[in-house]
């Protein structure tokens, strides 16, 4: 549990730390934040191929930032996270059980086919979100100021994610009522 809290804190604060550190701390030293982000995810590496690829990608970005002493590789981390999530959720669509259904089954429930189809659709919606969010994060990293990048990746994208979670929850309640699930 403490590692999960640290992982969430590092992930949430990463864009703000990059923004505040820009101009104050050389990017090669700010790359330590990326190393911290990877370190907090070490327990997940045993569980997930996506987590391993994401960690490897983060280490590559960190090495590029240290070598070049440029901020851009550090600003690409949210793009990497979206790509990793897209890969995990997208891959699950090619398997019998979607990512959303796999998470829902952690509570030990069994679901009828109509619910499984709904969860597959929700997984597709999340895939769409990761594509759009990742592209916006990429655009802000390449063409916007550090302030705009930090605002989007550190505030707006989380707000959009919360809206999607909340909207899906309301749709799910209606779905359960209509289908008696």
Alpha-carbon distances, residue 142 vs 124, 137, 166 (angstroms): 27, 9, 30
Under DSSP, the state recorded for 110 is -
Tokens of 15: 């864009």
pLDDT of residue 44: 65
Q: How far apart are CA 111 and CA 154, in angstroms?
A: 35
Calculate what percentage of the chain has a pLDDT beyond 90: 62
Q: What predicted TM-score, i.e. pTM, was given to this entire model?
A: 0.88
pLDDT digits (tens, 9 = 90+) for 42-85: 776 666 788 888 888 999 999 999 999 999 999 999 999 999 99
């Amino acid at each position: 549990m403490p590692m999960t809290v640290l992982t969430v804190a590092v992930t949430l604060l990463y864009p703000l730390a990059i923004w505040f550190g820009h101009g104050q701390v050389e990017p090669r030293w700010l790359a330590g934040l990326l190393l911290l982000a990877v370190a907090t995810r070490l327990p997940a590496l045993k569980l997930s191929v996506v987590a391993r690829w994401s960690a490897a990608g983060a280490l590559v970005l960190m090495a590029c930032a240290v070598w070049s002493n440029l901020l851009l590789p550090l600003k690409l981390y949210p793009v990497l996270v979206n790509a990793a999530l897209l890969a995990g959720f997208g891959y699950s669509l090619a398997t019998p059980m979607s990512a959303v259904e796999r998470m829902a089954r952690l509570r030990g429930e069994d679901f009828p086919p109509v619910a499984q189809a709904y969860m597959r659709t929700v997984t597709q919606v999340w895939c769409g979100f990761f594509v759009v969010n990742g592209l916006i994060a990429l655009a802000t990293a390449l063409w916007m100021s550090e302030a705009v990048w930090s605002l989007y990746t550190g505030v707006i994208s989380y707000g959009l994610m919360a809206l999607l979670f909340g909207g899906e929850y309301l749709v799910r309640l209606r779905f359960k009522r209509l289908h008696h699930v």
